[in-house]
Copies of this chain bind each other. A is one copy, B any other.
Amino acid sequence: MKNVIRFPTETETDLSCFQLFKTLTDQELIRLNLDMTSRIYERKDIVYHEGSRLTGFYCITKGILKLYKTGTEGKEQIFRFAQSGDIIGYRSLVCRELADATAKVIKEAALCHIPYNTFLILEQNNWQFSQYMLQIACQELYEANNYLTSISQKYVKENLAEVLLLLKQKFDPDNTNTLQIPLSREELANATGTVKEHVTRLLGEFSRQKIIEVKGCEIKLLDLPTLKRIAKH
């Protein structure tokens, strides 16, 4: 059944493994744990909508989310997959703007909500926290500009190969070459900048060439060198 609410376990509320909080004093950590609230989100749950006002940012302690913007004609553009260890929602907080993206759960997730005030206090009292925050933003910026260049200049086939490689890098910690992230064809399309029909065709092509193996949502990468060559990496 769906309506059994499960409360976060202790490991799901443990923020100590976040690099971002590594330099906090004991006192700051206690304060953080007091202010923070945590919750479990099911697949397809929406953490926040584009246009909503956030009251804090979120630390992901478990699961996978997608972040997307809604473009023309309501088509979603996925620009980031976030997982355990990542933080989301900080951008609109920093700029004091409404959320510019929607965060939706792909794989059951546990999130910790850090209120704006706590964020502000940390920012003012712990320069290393600020420094790391800036690093996170700059890293994302780097990836965004890379992504832009790829999507803008490459063929869809090349981009799909690139997205698969990116997904492997992020969601195959055990190096099984099987992507540990359940994505529909449409989601893959929304991350690649195309339509689901085209993804179907290209995945079929890759399969026939024994570059990948597809079983429903599950994708296994068989021939990484060829995939990299296609992606022009």
Contacts and interface: CB of A to CB of B under 8 A. Distances in A.
A166 interface: no
Interface in A146-202: 146-154, 158, 193
Interface in A43-93: 69, 71-73, 75, 77, 79, 90-91
Contact of A138 (B91, B131, B145, B232): B91
Interface of A: 69, 71-73, 75, 77, 79, 90-91, 94-95, 97, 100-101, 123-125, 127, 130-131, 133-135, 137-142, 144-154, 158, 193, 232
Contacts of A130: 123, 127, 130-131, 134
Contacts of A137: 134, 137-138, 141
A33 to B, nearest CB: 23
A20 to B, nearest CB: 13
A71 B193 contact: no
A77 B123 contact: no
Contact of A94 (B138, B146, B150): B138
Given A91-B141, A138-B137, A145-B101, A124 B127 contact: yes
A35 to B, nearest CB: 19
Given A131-B130, A144-B141, A148-B148, A153 B95 contact: no
A79 B79 CA distance: 16
A147 to B, nearest CB: 6
